DNA sequence: TATGAATGAGCATTCATTCAT
DNA sequence: CATGAATGAATGCTCATTCAT
């Protein structure tokens, strides 16, 4: 009986094996050879499970984002106020820990590829990501409205916040003078000033 | 004595000559040879005026943006309402004319390079662009406040709008499902709902 | 499973294939493309076995010298007198046959590279060559001493002779007026005059 | 009246101006542009006085060697013993002062060029250098013979010593393991052991 | 005489992908 | 299933030299 290999699982396995690699050397310097060596398989074998080098990168980034999604859901579980939850939502751009910086840089390089080519897989994947985060944001805001924290129009700003977060990431990536933390705090505070229901004393 | 050329001017001249080229074949496929041929000069001559291939690209993009800045200032001159001016500000992402699409695509490719490398010139240039547009936006909003169109807190949203516009561009570049026009209209309308001074009937 | 090649052997094979090439066109005009064509392999394949163009040159010269070493040991086998053996030792600079001239010229070009760069491989290789020839020379002289042909102090001149031979090569390479044969004969005769044990009549 | 320029003198002047340049950046990295700038003249003007880039290098090296010749004659003026004078003759290879190291390295690069091309000027120049040093060496040795320091056959070793010195230089340039000082001392001492007239006690 | 703008040939190297075994 | 040997297209940059002014 021949060994039955679960292709989808092996894709994941290879991606997991190369997960760190992409942080260490960056996407640009990632070669198929290095991937094969890191995953302890032959170069040719890579092509049994991936269509192209980009496909590998895609799978690895996919993995990272999936992990990030899980973490995100976990992280806002015990957060009470809507504003705080929104700040958690911005963690990806605001957190300067080594761990998150690696993630952020990988995403920057990934973005560079997405912008220079026209990869359908990648674009679809982006759509999914956007949907995930928009859904999360809507849940956060709707909870806030239900709790009488936020005015009902607040729900209209979900997409705007999502887009603002993207712009924030882009700013951080392209403008060294830009103070991401100060700017985002100011924006969110000002926005909440307008959409929060003032508590009576 | 040989003729003395104005180096800075010739840089511009070469950039102008190659200006269309970058739209036609894209930044990625731009080669120094093609630039030289298009500008009707020798390949070596290019290097008398540019330090590297990137330097050429940089100068051309510079040229495009400069033109865009001039056009922008011109275009809002006769616009009356603040909201309309802000929409003009978003023209770069909203206008789907052939002309603007070319510009937008070049910027996408340029962004791809900026994100994948660490070019100081390019980053400085980005800083300058951001400063320009932030200044313009502040002028627009401040005028609106002065004209009693907008509430005084509106000025706090300038940077936020700038960042939102960047996010909008990124969305348009990476997510085919995204309807830029609808989204931005909704966001701006909702925001103005909050920052506009309601006129009495 | 694909065939497994002996990397070290293939390196040699490629070097052998390009061995003549270096004589024909010289080191300076040697290009990787020409090497690949001559060896009937792809340009990329070259880089599977060599680190750089210099590495190829190095391997070819290595090959030549190795052959020369073997020939040298063979050639002095049946030579009786120490002086004659020393003249064999000088064969590389004295022999004007087409074959040896090719070798000498290749060495000249190789030397030119060694002198202009700081290649560790090449320097180590030079050390090994010097060790080989010094050892050979010591054997020759020691045999002469053991056979009562030479005075015991003769052994002290081994390194000197080695160095003299290098100087002789350099003279031949840089000074067209120089008569290598006459000069070396004179020097060796004069030296042997001093270190030979005079036979009683 | 037009300015009469002594071509030969201007050649020297330019060479003098670029004299240090060759030490600083090395022959390989010397460009005609840099020479022109250093000499405060136009690039085209260089070609009024020099036939080629090599011609410039040649003139500079010429200058260095001329200076060295003068120094050499000066330096042995007050040296008494023949052996000591011979050691002065070897100063070029033995002196590790910064000054002499610069000179030695420039000569190494110059040699690299001489070995890779077939420049008649350079070869002729080498002949002259060899003649100069051979003459000096003959004077030294002849003086030793006249002073009853050396045996009459010693004169026969002049050319040999010259060639040995060349070999010594080549060794130093190509073999990092080689101890120039130890080797040359041993050789000269051993040789003088044979050619010196032993003083009676 | 002096200049400096213009030139363009020439070449090493990388690496994703294929396919014979 | 697995492999790794073979491939070759594609391109930025230097710099000695010329020659119009």
**Domain for residue A9, yes or no?**
yes
Q: For residue D49, what are its two tokens? A: 């006085």
Closest CB to C112 among D115, D127, D170: D115
Among the three residues B59, B84, B105, which one is the final residue of a domain in this structure? B59
In angstroms, what separates the C-alpha of D159 from chain C's closest C-alpha? 7
DSSP state for residue C153 in the 8-state scheme: G
Q: For residue B47, what are its two tokens? A: 């290097």
Residue D1: predicted pLDDT: 42
CB burial string A52-73: b at 16+ within 10 A, e below: eebbbbbbbbbbbbeebeeebe
> How far apart are alpha carbons B27 and B20 in whole angstroms?
11
Distance C22 CA to F5 C1' (A): 26
Arithmetic mean of pLDDT, B45-64: 93
Residue D120: predicted pLDDT: 82
Residue D60: predicted pLDDT: 93
Whether A117 and A27 map to the same domain: the answer is no
Is residue C100 over pLDDT 90?
A: yes
**Domain for residue D89, yes or no?**
yes
Give the C-alpha distances (Å, rounded to integers) separating C107 from B107, C104, D189: 55, 5, 31
What's the sign of the alpha-carbon dihedral B160, B165, B168, B169? negative
Bridge partners of C150, per DSSP, are C196
Is residue D181 over pLDDT 50?
A: yes
CB burial string D136-157: b at 16+ within 10 A, e below: bbeebbbebbeeebbbeebbbb
Q: Which own/partner contact pairs does A46-52 have at CB distance under 8 Å and 24+ positions apart? A: A46/A14, A49/A7, A49/A10, A49/A11, A49/A14, A50/A11, A50/A14
8 A C-beta contact, residue B144 and residue B195: no
> How far apart are alpha carbons B168 and B183 in whole angstroms?
9
Question: What subunits make at least 3 CB pairs under 8 angstroms with C?
Answer: D
Using 50, 70 and 90 to split pLDDT, how confident is the model at A5?
Answer: low
Is residue A2 over pLDDT 70?
A: no
**Domain for residue D170, yes or no?**
yes
More confident residue, C173 or D201: C173
Closest CB to B115 among A108, A165, A178: A108
DSSP state for residue C51 in the 8-state scheme: S
**Domain for residue D117, yes or no?**
yes
- Nucleotides of E strand lying within 7 Å of any protein CB atom: 1-21
- Nucleotides of F strand lying within 7 Å of any protein CB atom: 1-21
- Predicted TM-score of the model (pTM): 0.86
Which residues in chain A, range 6-45, keep a C-beta under 7 Å from any nucleic strand F atom?
A: 41-45
Bridge partners of B196, per DSSP, are B150
Residue A1: predicted pLDDT: 41
Whether D106 and D201 map to the same domain: the answer is yes
Whether A171 and A139 map to the same domain: the answer is yes
C30 CB neighbours strand E below 7 A:
yes
As a residue count, chain C comes to 201
What pLDDT, in 10s, does the model give residues B105-164?
A: 999 999 999 998 888 888 888 899 999 999 999 999 999 999 999 999 999 989 999 999
C43 CB neighbours strand F below 7 A:
yes
> How far apart are alpha carbons A180 and D1 in whole angstroms?
72
Whether D134 and D194 map to the same domain: the answer is yes
**Domain for residue D129, yes or no?**
yes
Bridge partners of B10, per DSSP, are none
Arithmetic mean of pLDDT, B50-63: 92
Whether A110 and A170 map to the same domain: the answer is yes
Using 50, 70 and 90 to split pLDDT, how confident is the model at D4?
Answer: low
Residue D11 CB neighbour total at 10 angstroms = 18
As a residue count, chain D comes to 201
Question: What subunits make at least 3 CB pairs under 8 angstroms with A?
Answer: B
Q: Is C30 helix (H, G, I), strand (E, B) or coil?
A: coil
Residues 6+ apart with CB under 8 A from C158: C134, C137, C138, C141
> How far apart are alpha carbons D144 and D86 in whole angstroms?
11
Is residue D124 over pLDDT 90?
A: no
**Domain for residue C21, yes or no?**
yes
Q: For residue B52, what are its two tokens? A: 């590297």
What pLDDT, in 10s, does the model give residues B188-200?
A: 998 898 899 887 6
Residue A92: predicted pLDDT: 94
A2 CB neighbours strand F below 7 A:
yes
Distance C95 CA to E12 C1' (A): 36
Distance A6 CA to F1 C1' (A): 13
Whether A199 and A157 map to the same domain: the answer is yes
Whether B52 and B87 map to the same domain: the answer is no
Q: For residue B171, what are its two tokens? A: 């969305």
Least confident of A107-116, A174-183, C3-12, D169-178: C3-12
What pLDDT, in 10s, does the model give residues A46-101?
A: 999 999 999 999 999 999 999 999 999 999 988 989 999 999 999 999 999 999 99
Which single residue has its CA nearest the C1' atom of nucleotide F4? C2
Whether B25 and B89 map to the same domain: the answer is no
Closest CB to B116 among A28, A170, A187: A28
Residue C192: predicted pLDDT: 93
CB burial string A1-24: b at 16+ within 10 A, e below: eeeeeeeeebbbebbebbbebbbe
Backbone angle region of B117, left / alpha / beta, with phi > 0 → left and psi within -120 to 50 → alpha: beta
Distance D62 CA to F17 C1' (A): 23
Using 50, 70 and 90 to split pLDDT, how confident is the model at C4?
Answer: confident
Which residues in chain D, range 141-160, keep a C-beta under 7 Å from any nucleic strand E atom?
A: none
Whether B50 and B89 map to the same domain: the answer is no
Q: Which of A109, A164, A178 to mutate to test the interface with B (most CBs of B within 10 A)?
A: A164
Distance D45 CA to E4 C1' (A): 10
In angstroms, what separates the C-alpha of C113 from chain D's closest C-alpha? 7
- CATH code: domain of residue D55: 1.10.10.60
Give the C-alpha distances (Å, rounded to integers) separating A133 from A161, B110, B187: 10, 27, 17
Using 50, 70 and 90 to split pLDDT, how confident is the model at B1?
Answer: low
Distance C20 CA to E19 C1' (A): 33
Q: Is D153 helix (H, G, I), strand (E, B) or coil?
A: helix
**Domain for residue D47, yes or no?**
yes
Percentage of chain C beyond pLDDT 70 is: 98
Chain B partners within 8 Å of A112 (Cβ): 111-113, 115-116
Residues 6+ apart with CB under 8 A from D102: D23
Residue appearing with tokens 């561009």:
B169
DSSP letters spanning C116-172: HS--HHHHHHHHHHHHHHHHHHHHHHHHHHHTTSB-GGGGGGHHHHHHHHHHHHHHH
Residue D5: predicted pLDDT: 60
Using 50, 70 and 90 to split pLDDT, how confident is the model at C6?
Answer: confident
As a residue count, chain A comes to 201
Residue B10 CB neighbour total at 10 angstroms = 15
> How far apart are alpha carbons A106 and A59 in whole angstroms?
13
Nearest alpha-carbon partner for C55 in C113, C115, C108:
C113
Nearest alpha-carbon partner for D30 in D46, D49, D54:
D54
Percentage of chain B beyond pLDDT 90 is: 75
Going along A72-157, which residue ranges are E strands?
Answer: none
Is residue B66 over pLDDT 70?
A: yes
Residue D200: predicted pLDDT: 61
Chain D partners within 8 Å of C127 (Cβ): 175-177
Q: For residue B128, what are its two tokens? A: 């300058």
Among the three residues C25, C59, C93, which one is the final residue of a domain in this structure? C59
Nearest alpha-carbon partner for D103 in D55, D76, D130, D71:
D71
Chain B partners within 8 Å of A173 (Cβ): 114-115
Q: For residue C147, what are its two tokens? A: 């056979």
Chain A partners within 8 Å of B180 (Cβ): none
**Domain for residue B68, yes or no?**
no
Chain C partners within 8 Å of D112 (Cβ): 112-113, 115-116
Residues 6+ apart with CB under 8 A from C185: none
Whether A41 and A88 map to the same domain: the answer is no
> How far apart are alpha carbons D120 and C176 in whole angstroms?
9
Chain D partners within 8 Å of C113 (Cβ): 112, 116
CB burial string A78-117: b at 16+ within 10 A, e below: eeeebbebbbbbbebbbeeeeeeeebbebbbbbbbbbbbe
Closest CB to C186 among D156, D164, D169: D156
Residue C200: predicted pLDDT: 62
The domain tally of chain A equals 2
**In which element (H, E) is residue B187 found?**
helix B180-195
C61 CB neighbours strand E below 7 A:
no
In angstroms, what separates the C-alpha of D110 from chain C's closest C-alpha? 9
What is chain B's mean pLDDT, rounded? 91
8 A C-beta contact, residue D166 and residue D175: no
Least confident of B112-121, C107-116, C137-146, D131-140: B112-121
Contacts across the C-D interface (CB distance below 8 Å)? 126
Domain that holds residue D50: 1-59
Whether A116 and A170 map to the same domain: the answer is yes
Whether D37 and D132 map to the same domain: the answer is no
């Amino acid at each position: 009986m021949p060994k039955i290999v679960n292709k989808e699982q092996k894709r994941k396995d290879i991606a997991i094996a190369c997960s760190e690699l992409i942080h260490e050397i960056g996407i640009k310097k990632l070669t198929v050879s290095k991937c094969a060596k890191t995953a302890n398989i032959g170069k040719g074998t890579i092509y049994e499970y991936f269509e192209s080098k980009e496909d590998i990168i895609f799978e690895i980034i996919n993995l990272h984002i999936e992990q990030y999604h899980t973490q995100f859901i976990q992280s806002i579980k015990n957060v009470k106020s809507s504003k705080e939850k929104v700040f958690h939502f911005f963690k990806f751009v605001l957190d300067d820990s080594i761990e998150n910086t690696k993630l952020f840089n990988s995403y920057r390089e990934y973005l560079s590829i997405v912008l220079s080519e026209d990869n359908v897989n990648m674009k679809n994947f982006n759509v999914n990501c956007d949907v995930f985060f928009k859904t999360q944001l809507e849940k956060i805001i709707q909870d806030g409205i239900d709790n009488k924290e936020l005015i009902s129009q607040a729900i209209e700003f979900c997409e705007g916040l999502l887009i603002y977060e993207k712009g924030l990431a882009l700013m951080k990536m392209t403008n060294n003078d830009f103070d991401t933390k100060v700017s985002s705090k100011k924006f969110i505070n000002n926005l909440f000033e307008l959409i929060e229901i003032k508590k009576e004393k």
